[in-house]
Structure 1
């Protein structure tokens, strides 16, 4: 015969202070799991949405996966458009975007300095970077920049510092913010874009970092990759943009493994904390457990009732943490080496966080309950 369901619920209410402390401890552990999993999901989403399958990046073969270290001649864009077929071409304009991309110190109007990602572009950039949308303001003119909506997070400054009309200083020049843009959650959102020739003059560089090419619907990226391999004198490397960001995911694999290790360690710490608290809770109920056995309840029924209490607490803690994480953490911008991205508390994060919480309730309740049930009933009835 099983104990009534209400019995476990009433037991939790009989000890409000201990129940509250256990609930806070479980909620804290589950919240940490939500933070780490949200970080991982946000990083994966940012890398996954950054690439365009129809865009091919051409950059220096010596830069490997770090385009910031790439340096190619300034005439590379015109050479590619003149030598290759299959590049999108409309109204006399080739969809090729020459770009200079580097990380540099950026000083805001409030004297906040941070490491920013600046990309020098031309008027053809919006044709190739099809995911970019201007949110407010206008395309940058002479002496102006347009900033991504996560650039403030990358710089570590307040969003008001990057409002339209504010000024920025980098590479020895002052720039006025002309507007803001979004890129569907991609890596571009943490960057600052300005006019390519002006940026080259400011940095005293006449080279490029890369050329982004938009392929026509009937074209294949292999044509560009083959051209780069055949022209060994140019030392170019062609790679589909989605493949480039896939290599970045592999590059950040150690970081992701470390984050999953943190999830495991936090969960393990939560299990031990739950064991400690449940041992204390069960230790004060030895006579109660012995009395239940004396009046005829089986040990399995008592064990199930104690596990029920742990699961109820864990479920409540998971619900509290999930609600707080979804309302307070979802979409929060965080800085990273690649730029900035938003924490993503999606269905996968909710599932993992709640699974960890329920597991803590079960694993934390079983060992102390088994220990109490092993004691002799006559001895336990005399316990103080």
Structure 2
């Protein structure tokens, strides 16, 4: 086998070729890491948003979207008494009728952006157990409470939705009474209104859905039986985690498009890299033949060429991961139902490292084999 230092020295034979190889590998790996982080972040936030203990009671036929669902007001009281084994906290059933609505919200600076609004009463906190009040108070009439990441959804600086600021729904002003967190869920991107206020503003006399928290996830059948017994209310029960799983399936085509786009760009970079390696290795045919004539086997030479390629591509991989950690880690990305945070999880890092390894091996094999293919006497005369 050739010494490892031989491959290392050959890297710096042509600085421009080295820069192209390292830069191309860094670009491809960075694209793959970005795509993996986007898909992972979206999947994580949707899977974490649903609790197995929570049941969503929606209008029959509207199971695909809470925003399109309509539930009669009297159904909330009926659910609180009609669903067995509902969690009870300080004597209050954990049942919350809520309005979910998407509409433009205007800030004091005049910027108007669409936001996901939720009309709630204080008992919503009995159901949405991940919600924690960070600052201020729960909203009363004329007030709103904003999620910690709502400013990302609106595309505005965080200080524009600080406690004490004002948001406008149409021409109606609402003072921000508090800020809340709900780590890893879409709730953190929402704006919570007093339910009666949002009902008036949206001119609706129905709820979007009723959320009920069960003592045990296995008691879901009790909620399902309730909807069957109350045919007059035209209801349907769905586990909250199942609802968000369906949303994840809805976004599957977007994830596929992300991978396809990245793959097309990566393919262009890979073909460019192959051309560079063909030119680089092709100019060394006589050198490879000389090494064979002094006793080195084609296998040893192939390994050395692969080492050289891997050194370049893995250097590019490390540069890409460094860039990702500096500029991608922690970025929040808005989408229709909320926001999610990009994280360099183990699976994302493995995607980047695997991409670098494949670039260094599969990308170098064709030009390396072509370089070593000619017979020794012909290669020495080339």
Equivalent in the alignment of 1:38: 37
RMSD: 1.9
List aligned pairs for 1:25-64, cutoff 5 A: 25-64=24-63
Instruction: Please name the residue that 2:197 is paired with.
Output: 198
Matches within 5 A, 1:53-202: 53-202=52-201
- The residue number in structure 2 matching 1:225 is 224
Structure 2 unmatched ranges of 5 or more:
none
CA distance in 2 between counterparts of 1:10 and 1:29 reads 25
TM-superposed deviation, 1:218: 8.8
Q: Deviations over 1:251-296 (max 9, x none)?
A: 2222233334345444434432321221122133233223222322
Q: How many residue pairs are counted as aligned between the two chains?
A: 382
- Between 217-226 and 327-336, the greater mean CA deviation after superposition: 217-226
Question: SS at the partner of 1:85?
Answer: coil
CA distance in 1, matches of 2:107, 2:356: 43
1:193-342 to structure 2, matched below 5 A, reads 193-217=192-216, 220-342=219-341
Whole-angstrom CA distance in 2 between matches of 1:143 and 1:115: 20
Of 231-240 and 24-33, deviating more is 231-240
Q: Distance in 1 between the 2:304 and 2:25 partners?
A: 19
1-structure distance, mates of 2:253, 2:120: 32
Farther-moved stretch of structure 1 (360-369 vs 319-328): 319-328
Pick which of 300-309 and 178-187 moved more. Answer: 178-187
Decide whether the 8 Å contact of 1:8 with 1:308 is kept in 2: yes
- Distance in 1 (CA, whole Å) between partners of 2:172 and 2:86 is 35
Point out where structure 1 has 5 or more consecutive residues left out of the alignment.
Answer: none
8 A Cα contact 1:36 1:262, kept in partner: no
Distance 1:58 1:299 in 2: 69
SS of aligned partner of 1:109: coil
CA contact (8 A) 2:24 2:270 kept: no
- 2-structure distance, mates of 1:301, 1:319: 27
Taking the aligned partners of 2:76 and 2:190, their CA distance within structure 1 comes to 22
Partners in 1 of 2:215 and 2:371 — Cα distance? 72
**Rounded Cα–Cα distance in structure 1 between residues aligned with 2:301 and 2:155:** 54
- Between the aligned partners of 2:327 and 2:71, the Cα distance in structure 1 is 44
Instruction: Tell whether the 8 Å contact from 2:31 to 2:266 is kept in structure 1 after alignment.
Output: no
Between the aligned partners of 1:165 and 1:218, the Cα distance in structure 2 is 39
Deviations 1:153-177 (A, max 9, x none): 2222222322222221124311222
- Give CA deviations for 1:235-257 in whole Å, capped at 9, x if unaligned: 11111111211222222222233
Alpha-carbon spacing, 1:262–1:229, altered in 2? closer, same or farther (3 Å): farther
Q: Is the 8 A contact 2:79 2:226 kept in 1?
A: no
The DSSP-based 3-state class of the residue aligned with 1:205 is coil
SS at match of 1:334: strand
What TM-score comes out, normalization by structure 2 length? 0.94
